[in-house]
Amino acid sequence: MARRSYHLFLWSSVSLFLLILGASYLHITNGVFDMSVIDVAKTLMRINSNKEFDLVIFEFRLPRIVIAALVGVGLGIAGVVLQGITRNGLADPGILGINAGAGAAVVIFMYFFQVRLLDSDMSSWLLIMMMPLFGFIGGTIAAALIFSFALKNGHLNMQRLILTGISINSGFGALSMYLSLKMNEKDFESAAVWMTGTIYNANWIFVIAMLPWLLILGFYIYKKSYLLDYFQLDEDNMTSLGIHVEKEKITLLLACVGLVSACVSVSGSIGFIGLMAPHIARQLVGIHHKYIMPISALIGAGLLILSDFIAKTVFAPDEIAVGIVVSIIGIPYFLYLLVKAKD
């Protein structure tokens, strides 16, 4: 059984890497300014490089692909953690309101420090680096509220968890909208587009801002992934195995909030990746979280790169927010899971 799971993991990893490479190829060669594979290869290898090609690839398309991949990885991992801790297949950072809490904190940050995420001329790289920290504070507050209301007799009530998450999501969303309406015209445009989920103005500062969070927290969560297998048991059984259930739950949740906050700070609120990726991963590799987690991360990266490619090309030369594309895919999937859960 273990050997079969390992082989499934290897085949799935190779297939998903090829999917990511294919989506990246489409993304980097297509757009308002189309490029051939030869043009891209020469530019990347610095062979007869063209300033126009350099600008398009290194300043616009490559940072956008990298951010899409990193955000997809972070949301995919976060979804696995939340579904594992809550034992609820419908748990997702967006649905539970963690995205909204982190987003509201970033909007507050934008309001007071006047940071425009859609401007190519960044006001200060230091401010951009601080944004994940503000997002973490907002996401932690949202998670604390959600789990405090969802607790019943010392245990999480799954129905309360979903309902509370939806309420918190709406509340923080309203706060974000209220603050954005008090901004001037340019700041409001920046905040409004960002809140729908967008990465079209991604740059290398964003990559530097979120990469430490993803590497440190992602590695920590993966080292703890074996605990998510035990979380599928009754909590009394976990305690009898010597596992400090509440302590591990809180540390994993905080790490998950940190990941989501880093993602939200550079891409806005993108939902449903954390819902879909873990489910697809379980279908591919089974129930062991040491395999589910990396596969879910790869699925999240592939989904977001492909969604961003659709977002920038379907109405070209105009673009739509990638969060809208993901929602169009994710909402039917969520309804399918909801109906399946009732059966």
How many other CB atoms are there within 10 angstroms of residue 4's CB atom?
10
Per-residue confidence band for 23, with pLDDT thresholds at 50, 70 and 90: very high
152: helix, strand or coil: strand
**What gap in Å lies between CA 90 and CA 279, rounded to an integer?**
9
Q: What percent of the chain has pLDDT over 70?
A: 93
Compute the distance between CA of residue 191 and CA of residue 268 in angstroms, rounded to an integer: 9
Q: Convert the pLDDT of each residue in 290-342 to its tens digit.
A: 999 999 999 999 999 999 999 988 877 778 889 889 999 888 888 887 777 66
| Average pLDDT rounded to a whole number, residues 13-32 | 92
Sign of the alpha-carbon torsion through 321, 322, 327, 332: positive
Mean pLDDT rounded to a whole number for the chain: 85
Whether the Cβ atoms of residue 272 and residue 93 lie closer than 8 Å to each other: no
What does each C-alpha distance from 231 to 190, 243, 251, 254 come to in angstroms?
A: 41, 10, 14, 16
N-terminal to C-terminal alpha carbon distance within the chain: 28
- Whether 142 and 97 have beta carbons less than 8 Å apart is answered as yes
Q: Are 275 and 90 in contact (CB under 8 A)?
A: yes
Which residues, including other chains, have CB under 8 Å from residue 280's CB and lie 6 or more apart?
Answer: 296, 299
Range list of β-strands (E), 65-187: 151-152, 155-156
User: Which amino acid belongs to residue 242?
Assistant: G
- Predicted confidence at residue 68, as pLDDT, reads 95
